[in-house]
Amino acid sequence: MKKLFLSITLIVSVLCAKADEGMWLPYNLSGQSLYEMQKLGCKLTAEQIFNLNQASLKDAIVQFGGGCTGELISPEGLLLTNHHCGLSYVQKHATVEHDYLTEGFWAHSKAEELPNPGLTVSFLINVEDVTEAVLDSVTNEETRSKVINGNIKKIIKERKGERDVTIEIVPFYSGNQYIMFEYDVYRDVRLVCCPPWGIGKYGADTDNWTWPRHKGDFNIFRVYTDKDGRPAKYSEDNIPMQSKHFLPINIKGVHQGDYAMILGYPGSTDRYSTSYTVKNIIESEAPGYINCRTTKLNEYRKHMDADQEVFIKYASKQAGVSNYWKYFIGQQKQLVRNHVYDRRLEQEKDFMAWMFEDPSRQAEYGDIFDGIKEKWEILDDIMMPMTYLREAGWNGGEAVAASRRFMKINNLIKEKASKEDIEKAMEPLKEQVATFFKDYDKDLDKDVTIALLNLFYKDIDRYVPSMIAEIGDKNNGDFTAWVEKAFKKSIFVDRDKLEKWLAKPKKLDKDPIFAMAMNIIDEYNNVVIPLYREAALVGDKGERLYMKGLMEMQNERDFYPDANFTMRLTYGTVEPYKGADAVNYNYYTTMDGVMAKYVPGNWEFDIPQDVRDLAEARDYGRYADENGDLVVNFITTNDITGGNSGSPVINGNGELIGLAFDGNWEAMSGDIMFEQQVQRTICMDARYLLWCLEKVGKVENVVGEMVIVE
């Protein structure tokens, strides 16, 4: 059996022979791992990829915002990420008069770069296995979680001390291992470039998660520091970061079979889960998300198409809702098409056969599926209602969601807290109110709220909040009249009313929007969450032991950990694939394909006039390939998932050749089971990036900062 609590060195020193599967921890690469990478074309040493003591590739890679990846591409802190990762920050700067979403934004000097309050980027500075300390004093399943959480808090407090760093301790292999990560967090990150909508969002929902693609999915920011190079909040006195390491950009072009490596922060996979997980996704989780988000998107689209001001306000919100709406559609479809449930069952049968071969294995693993089955019987009952409580409930209508921020202050008022405590609690709310109403449309929110409450009442027959049940029963499932009345009365849909309340706060219990939000949360917290915790208590031990047993049973296999938004390395090659019978996809797309999809006035497929002019003249300059075409996107066999958006695609010399931004439709089940034959990463070609900067944005100042390899 492999040693369970693998050291970081052992985890990554030998990688799977199939070079495209696996999101590997990139620490202390050596031996077989480098051998496999070098066979494919990697010319870097392990120290050049990851080194805690001197500059390496890892120092160019950041966690961007709340869930993406970015990379430094100049000596002065230029930061590249995806358009959809930076979209919400661009949207905050956009107005009808300065429509940066539609027209793009290009800073022609550092003085024109725009600050983004709340945006952070994090650089990894230290890694340490702390499994023994985290599991200290764990003696039983009932207190396991409490003890672990207490140990984690203690370790973080002791390690952090007075330092200005962020420390996270993250479970691996279903809680069989714990690793600590330390980050420097930079809080002055300014917008430099955003392409027009017809480049950065080209194809929108129709093309999302599909190949072939024709999208310039990029934004450029710049990281600033204080005068001593340290992380600092925004200040006019701050200076551009002096990059410890940055990626040169190679424009020689990609070809089939070329080596491709990705470093980034993949968010979540569940590759070692049981058949019960797969069944629940197919039958409960995915349908819940699809139903709720389809309903919301229909209302968004109706209002956004009718009014450009509403389009600007809701562009980022719509994109956020639609991305995982289509993801769940694809995941559900491909889990079935790729027979993932049946493949999981086969693995469990193999496990049981292996277990019964040895009495000691029977003693350790014999009853684990009893607990797992009991866990998922509970979750099967509550997963659909849980999804609706979140998606159609407290996160459904915006006013309902916003009212939740006032829970604390309402409780303080009811408890007759001191004036000082109440005023302190109100301070952050004042700024949040201004931000909320800047991008709020009351009519749209009203229609969304009606549609989602109607859907909730119609679809869910258990764990329904009492207010939703009562209103629905009285009105034959039609919430129109109630919502109309609520929107006339509530302070949460009217800025003037809310600001008057802030000036003289009082109890909110009678506000209909607030009352609805509290009723939904009560059902979730007091009924559903206890069941969820019960499920974890009876089943998590079994799933943890199943992971341990799989590693013991398949002791010739190297197990990469599931993604959990920690830095990972994946490597592969540029390759085409066969999507279906008689459907064979090339490995790249060109500007000709962009023009072929062009539909004038269409929000998904319109193209700016200057881009059309350049394409018609075939004015591609040094970025044209050997055929005179401009390559836009390409695909690789790399293994990525959400969170990898914005990750660099790096060649064997450590140079940027592209920007990862999506997966493909045929492998939408890939977060649960890697699909060896069809799984691909969709990337924007570095030549298209530079062409957009030079020819469309005309930001020679930005291009001039970069090191370009021709």
Q: List the catalytic residues.
A: 84, 217, 645
Q: Is the peptide bond before 212 cis (omega within 30 degrees of 0)?
A: yes
Query: 271, 562 in Cβ contact below 8 A?
Result: yes
Cα→Cα distances 421→125, 412, 426, 502, Å: 38, 8, 9, 14
Q: What's the DSSP call for residue 282?
A: I
Q: Distance of alpha carbon 204 from its chain centroid, rounded? A: 17
Strand stretches in 86-152, DSSP E: 105-106, 114-115, 121-129
CB 591 within 8 A of CB 614: no
Residue 67 has phi, psi (to 5 degrees) of 180, 30
Q: What DSSP character marks residue 19?
A: T
Percentage helix, strand, coil for the chain under 3-state DSSP, each rounded to 5: 50, 15, 35
Q: Rounded to an integer, what is the distance from CA 35 to the centroid of its chain?
A: 31
DSSP assignment of 189-212:
EEEEEE--HHHHTTTHHHHTT-SS
Question: Backbone phi, then psi, for 180, in 5-degree steps?
Answer: -100, 135
Q: What's the CA gap between 63 and 68, in Å, rounded?
A: 6
What is the spatial distance between Cα 610 and Cα 698, in angstroms, rounded to a whole number?
12
Report the chain's terminal Cα–Cα distance, integer Å: 49
The number of angstroms, rounded, from the C-alpha of 287 to the middle of its chain's C-alpha atoms is 20
